[in-house]
Amino acid sequence: MNAIVPTLLALISPGGHIMSTIECYSEVRAFIRDRMRKMGIRSTFIDIDEDMESSLKDVLDQNNDVTLFYADSLTNPMLNVGVMKSEPRDTEQKKGKKGDTLEDGPQGDPPTLKCLDIRRIVQLHHQKGVLVCIDSTLASPINQKPLTLGVDLVLHSATKYMAGHHDVIVGCNAAYMIIRGLKMMALRVEASNRTALLMAHLLEAHPKIDRVHYPGLESSPWHHLAKTHRAGYGGVVSFEVKADLHGTMRFIDALEIPFIATSLGGCESLVQQPAVMSFWGHTDEDKANNGISNNFVRFSFGIEKFEDLRDDILQALDRI
Ligand SMILES: *Cc1c(COP(=O)(O)O)cnc(C)c1O
């Protein structure tokens, strides 16, 4: 956040207009929507869906004051879920898909990892003189290089894959730790990519799993984009187990290797069940609006041996 806030403030002045996506890191969304609005900066959030290109064109055609497009790619399938029904909304380009209304928010779509067509987005914005800034944290610098796709600015949360050990929240004092983390980043990310892809395939074929969300799977609507844009598909996989809230809790509790935590991008595997973690205390309606089902699980695969993680996940699925 310490990199994001000054970047946004430096590039957009009061009276300006920023465009972003509904699914973006929640703190950034809140900053744009609440703080920047108070500074007299307008914001428009659009959906990442098959109509995204026409939404972008509409906004750019109708508003010649947009100076920056800001988005995450990959999107984080958990920390930056869509719009809470209870939150106030700014201008949002909703397409009325599946009966959505402006008030209803994204209905029931599970928060998958979505990829942007970065090249196309850059083309559309540069035609209008608009800068493009991408938060590439989820992809890591190993898997995706947005500058080579034409993006003007790239941001990473160095807390995640760059530091890579779940032991720093990045600030000046963390520089030494990040330098150490960076030296092994390529090895770590490659190990996470490999394990995540193998596990995604294995889970997709498992009788106790309903659905797996991972851009490395051919079943993912983002597979084609991920394949052309990226060197690897990343270490984060989300899935829905065939169980209710308590069955899913039994699965999580039976796991012996991963820590139960909400971050991502480090050596150790992390697992979380949003229904009882990030969305604890939210109403069932809020959860439904954000596509958070009781059986939804997010895994950030670390660098442990694949066979150990596989055996651990399989024995935990047996305990549901
Ligand atoms: C964690 C995260 C951030 C915030 O990073 P900090 O280092 O915690 O300030 C921003 N964007 C994304 C996509 C993240 O996952």
- Give the CATH number of the domain where residue 99 resides: 3.40.640.10
Q: Which two tokens stand for residue 308?
A: 């150990």
Q: Are residues 172 and 202 in the same domain?
A: no
Q: Are residues 261 and 115 in the same domain?
A: no
The Cα-based distances of 255 to 98, 138, 165, 207, 287 in angstroms read: 37, 24, 20, 18, 24
Q: Are residues 73 and 155 in the same domain?
A: yes
Q: Are residues 132 and 210 in the same domain?
A: no
- Within 23-127, residue ranges assigned H as helices are 26-30, 37-38, 52-62, 118-127
Whether 135 lines ligand 1, by a CB cut-off of 6 Å, is: yes
Burial of residue 38 (CB within 10 Å: 0-12, 13-18, 19+) is exposed
Residue 113: per-residue pLDDT: 82
Out of 202-206, 218-222, 289-293, 294-298, which region has the weakest mean confidence (pLDDT)?
289-293
Q: Are residues 70 and 144 in the same domain?
A: yes
When pLDDT is cut at 50, 70 and 90, the band that residue 171 belongs to is confident
When pLDDT is cut at 50, 70 and 90, the band that residue 9 belongs to is very high
Is pLDDT of 93 > 80? no
- The residue among 5 and 90 whose pLDDT is bigger is 5
Q: Ligand 1, residues 7, 153, 160: which to mutate, most atoms within 8 A of Cβ? A: 160
- Nearest ligand 1 atom to alpha carbon 4: 10
The residue whose C-alpha atom lies closest to atom 1 belonging to ligand 1 is 157
**Residue-number span of the structural domain to which 216 is assigned:** 184-317
Q: Are residues 188 and 129 in the same domain?
A: no
- For residue 152, report the distance from its CA to the centre of ligand 1, in Å: 19
When pLDDT is cut at 50, 70 and 90, the band that residue 98 belongs to is very low
Pick the last residue of a domain from 130, 159, 180.
180
- For residue 172, report the distance from its CA to the centre of ligand 1, in Å: 16
- For residue 280, report the distance from its CA to the centre of ligand 1, in Å: 20
- For residue 6, report the distance from its CA to the centre of ligand 1, in Å: 14
Residue 86: per-residue pLDDT: 34
Is pLDDT of 194 > 50? yes
Q: Are residues 114 and 161 in the same domain?
A: yes
Other Cβ atoms less than 10 A from the Cβ of 315: the count is 12
- Nearest ligand 1 atom to alpha carbon 3: 9
Q: Are residues 153 and 242 in the same domain?
A: no
In whole angstroms, what is the distance from residue 42 CA to residue 61 CA?
16
When pLDDT is cut at 50, 70 and 90, the band that residue 92 belongs to is low
- Nearest ligand 1 atom to alpha carbon 169: 7
Is pLDDT of 68 > 70? yes
Q: Are residues 102 and 223 in the same domain?
A: no
Mean pLDDT of the chain: 88
Return the amino acid letter for 297.
V
In whole angstroms, what is the distance from residue 204 CA to residue 208 CA?
9
Whether 269 lines ligand 1, by a CB cut-off of 6 Å, is: no
Q: Are residues 170 and 37 in the same domain?
A: yes
How many structural domains does the chain have?
Answer: 2
Out of 7-11, 125-129, 226-230, which region has the weakest mean confidence (pLDDT)?
226-230
Q: What is the mean pLDDT of residues 88-101?
A: 42
Is pLDDT of 273 > 90? yes
- For residue 137, report the distance from its CA to the centre of ligand 1, in Å: 7
In whole angstroms, what is the distance from residue 245 CA to residue 248 CA?
5
Q: Ligand 1, residues 159, 178, 298: which to mutate, most atoms within 8 A of Cβ? A: 159
Q: Are 191 and 176 in contact (CB under 8 A)?
A: no
Per-residue pLDDT of 220-243, as tens digits, reads: 988 988 888 778 999 999 999 999
Q: Ligand 1, residues 31, 154, 157, 272: which to mutate, most atoms within 8 A of Cβ? A: 157
- The residue among 47 and 197 whose pLDDT is bigger is 197
The string of DSSP letters for 103-151 reads: TT-S-S---------HHHHHHHHHHTT-EEEEE-TTTHHHH--GGGGT-
In whole angstroms, what is the distance from residue 296 CA to residue 110 CA?
8
Residue 39: per-residue pLDDT: 96
In whole angstroms, what is the distance from residue 275 CA to residue 273 CA?
6
- The residue among 26 and 97 whose pLDDT is bigger is 26
Is pLDDT of 81 > 50? no
Q: Are residues 110 and 248 in the same domain?
A: no
